[in-house]
Structure 1
Amino acid sequence: MYNLFLRIILLRSPSSVFSHGFSKSLLKSLRFLSTSSETVSSPKSSSLASNVVQINNNRKAVISFFENHGFSESQIFDIVKKVPLILSVNPETLFPILLFFQSKAELGTVEKTVATIKRFPRILGWNLSVGPNIELLKQIGVPDSNISTYLQGQPKIFLTSSVRFKEIVERVTEMGFSPQRLQFLVAVFALRSMTKSSWDKKVEVYRKWGLSEEEIRLAFRRHPMCMAFSEDKTNGVMDFFVNKIGCQSSFVARKPSLLSFSLKKKILPRGYIYQVLLSKGLIKKHANIPMFVKISENRFVEKFINPHKEQIPGLLELYEQKLMDSRR
């Protein structure tokens, strides 16, 4: 009952603090929270009064905990504003995950820890699964630097039940990924984002384009995120390269990173230029298709448009028009 009461109070009260601003220190603002009539008005029982005291003491303890571990007022403010319910947490439960972040998980600095919490605040409530999941990765040889990269950039990868996380890791290992490479975690992230039924549907999309089971597995090993795109996106890209450009479907399986580029904003405008140059005999069929898509905008104009301005007047204008059309 106390925990429910506490959560109700905290869900309401942070807005009171933030609406009044933080012209004074964070602790003074929180002191306002403790005495605000909006938070609790005239407790009618000793039990209710006792709960209020416990809530206020807990808030002070949480703030003190962060201060004692090197967090500045502004950093504490950022965390409390992002995760108001942090004020309801027993500080003792925060210590293991904070220790893990700053020493074991290679986040190292308070700044990186705050950034991670702000990016994905739910991680504070999942310390029981985060630790075992990272320990599992360490046990199989995933480098600390790779774990740190994903913990900072995509912390939700670790917010999975230990049982499911282990199943995903085992599956990725069976597929031939090396734990020493960052690609291993990319594959874990991709599989975590979908259910088995979602995976099966995406496999079926590739099968309809004539890819074998082995070709699909090869594509996933080379670029795991190729299985994370929507079925519409995959069909659109496959249709362009197979039906418009005339590539074999196996070509895309060998170059699955092509699927990561925007069909509308990059593949189609540049594909148009490819078809124009091909029709004029200025390039060979299927030559440098990955480069056509991957290189920077300036490099694309420099390499594929400027050299052919004289042979094809208005080529740059045609390309720019295609780019404008893609933004509509």
Structure 2
Amino acid sequence: MIRLRSCVLTRLLSSPSAPPTPFRPHRLLSAAPLAVSPNPSFAVEDYLVAACGLTRPQAVKASAKLPRLKSPANPDAVLAFLAGLGLSAADVAAVVARDPRSLCASVERTLAPVVVGLSDLGLSRSDIARLASLAVHRFRKEDTVSKLQYYLHLFGSSENLLRAMKFCDFLSHSLERVVKPNVVFLRECGLGACDIAKLCIQRPRMITANLQHLQAMVACAENIGVPRGSGMFRHALHAVAFMSEAEITARVEYLKSTFTWTDAEVGIAVSRAPLMLTRSKESLQRRSEFFISEVGLEPSYIAQQSVLLGYSLEARLRPRYYAVKFLKENGLLKRDPSYCTVFKETEKVFRENFICPHKEAAPHLEEDYDAACKGEVPTNFRFT
């Protein structure tokens, strides 16, 4: 039996040095497991510490969930299987600590078939190892493969799905009762497959929320001035997800006071850049000081161009401002450009319009601009 298990595991698992490409095992263990006599000297706690790498307190807690474990035979097979997938000793310890009963799962009847199913979906060995660490107790459930097939289609890739699973245990929720109705509702709100995928990545728990709660989130997004079907709706839903009305109101009031906006102006600003509701007070305060005190823009103008508040202050806004200010002060610009245009242009276009044409007249401009983009903003750009 041990030799048979070793043979199958060898076929199941590619070598550690192999590239993370999908592997396709074609044969599972079919022989019935041999009966194992109970070992009266077997101490579960000691085994969890010595073989699984748990701390003594973790072992005490885990052993309470393993009252019928009388032999190391099956746990040894499970540990070998997990290690063969590519899990490190620390990963294996984390899996056992979170789901002690996984040590009682049958490698032949439970774990191996799941791995086969996942590999048939196109998951690589490293993907499956990450999934084993993230899903833990779900990894030994019969519906794991069918659920993963749905989520892979929803998220668009295994990388997107596994990244989101760090924050939400999708596999523990019912597809038919919870997830699919939520996805249908989001589609009814005008969101396409790509938008829903992005939203799931940004707010993973949204598709596992109660449908009534999701409907309330949509109502909040509409209440901040972003209608369903608009290009900003996904961003608005992202911004208000899991925020109470009181929290949204408090953030709107802070925006009004920070940028000295009227009710109408803050409404325009939020509807055009809803993600500003997710920014910290410190971040908003620094942007207010930059745009109003340093650049000299009017609050009403900032409200109309509130998308500017989403750009990086250190890596984009300040460097470009200093570069254009230098060019203007030294008479190197034929016309006074709009700062909205200056800040919105792509990096390539900005350099083509404001850096490259002045290399001879201002030989240090590019060097100073590059330094500014790295956070090393000089007091004044150098002319000579």
Using the size of structure 1 for normalisation, the TM-score is 0.71
Aligned-partner residue type, residue 171 of structure 2? L
Q: Of Structure 1 and Structure 2, which has the larger fraction of its residues in helix?
A: 1
Indicate the residue corresponding to 2:68 in structure 1.
48
**How far did residue 152 of structure 1 move?**
5.2
Indicate the residue corresponding to 1:81 in structure 2.
133
Conserved 8 A contact 1:142-1:180: yes
**How far did residue 274 of structure 1 move?**
2.3
Indicate the residue corresponding to 1:263 in structure 2.
313
Q: Deviations over 1:62-120 (max 9, x none)?
A: 542453463356243331133333335x324x4674464366x4x57xxx2x3343112
**How far did residue 141 of structure 1 move?**
3.7
Query: Which of residues 260, 267, 274 in structure 2 aligns to 1:217?
Result: 267
After alignment, is 207-216 or 63-72 more displaced?
63-72
Aligned-partner residue type, residue 246 of structure 1? G
Conserved 8 A contact 2:225-2:267: no
Indicate the residue corresponding to 1:304 in structure 2.
354
Structure 1: how far apart are the matches of 2:332 and 2:206? 46
Conserved 8 A contact 1:157-1:189: no
**How far did residue 263 of structure 1 move?**
1.0
Q: SS of 1:218's equivalent?
A: helix
Indicate the residue corresponding to 2:142 in structure 1.
91
Q: SS of 1:206's equivalent?
A: helix
**How far did residue 197 of structure 1 move?**
4.3
Aligned-partner residue type, residue 84 of structure 1? V
**How far did residue 167 of structure 1 move?**
0.6
Conserved 8 A contact 2:220-2:240: no
Indicate the residue corresponding to 1:135 in structure 2.
184
Structure 2: how far apart are the matches of 1:232 and 1:53? 46
- The change in CA–CA distance for 1:193 and 1:235 in structure 2 (over 3 A counts) is farther
Q: Deviations over 1:241-269 (max 9, x none)?
A: 11111110122211122112211222112
**How far did residue 310 of structure 1 move?**
5.0
- The change in CA–CA distance for 1:150 and 1:327 in structure 2 (over 3 A counts) is farther
Aligned length: 293
**How far did residue 166 of structure 1 move?**
1.3
Conserved 8 A contact 2:164-2:201: no
Structure 1: how far apart are the matches of 2:301 and 2:108? 59
Indicate the residue corresponding to 2:85 in structure 1.
none
Indicate the residue corresponding to 1:120 in structure 2.
164
- The change in CA–CA distance for 1:48 and 1:253 in structure 2 (over 3 A counts) is same
After alignment, is 290-299 or 264-273 more displaced?
290-299
After alignment, is 286-295 or 256-265 more displaced?
286-295
Conserved 8 A contact 1:211-1:250: yes
Conserved 8 A contact 1:255-1:290: yes
Q: Deviations over 1:281-326 (max 9, x none)?
A: 5458973312322334343232113334455553334333433443
Structure 1: how far apart are the matches of 2:363 and 2:149? 64
Indicate the residue corresponding to 1:166 in structure 2.
215
- The change in CA–CA distance for 1:23 and 1:307 in structure 2 (over 3 A counts) is closer
Aligned-partner residue type, residue 265 of structure 1? A
**How far did residue 136 of structure 1 move?**
1.7
**How far did residue 47 of structure 1 move?**
5.6
Indicate the residue corresponding to 1:245 in structure 2.
295
- The change in CA–CA distance for 1:218 and 1:299 in structure 2 (over 3 A counts) is same
- The change in CA–CA distance for 1:304 and 1:102 in structure 2 (over 3 A counts) is closer
Conserved 8 A contact 2:220-2:245: no
Structure 2: how far apart are the matches of 1:101 and 1:211? 43
Conserved 8 A contact 1:115-1:152: no
Q: Deviations over 1:158-207 (max 9, x none)?
A: 34343322111122234453433452121111111644444333322321
Structure 2: how far apart are the matches of 1:217 and 1:271? 27
Structure 2: how far apart are the matches of 1:301 and 1:277? 13
Using the size of structure 2 for normalisation, the TM-score is 0.62
After alignment, is 174-183 or 277-286 more displaced?
277-286
Root-mean-square deviation (Å): 4.1
- The change in CA–CA distance for 1:232 and 1:150 in structure 2 (over 3 A counts) is same
Q: Deviations over 1:123-167 (max 9, x none)?
A: 223445433321221233433342234335653443434332211
Structure 1: how far apart are the matches of 2:344 and 2:279? 18
> Structure 1: any 5+ residue segments left out of the alignment?
1-20
Q: Identity of counterpart residues, as a percentage?
A: 20
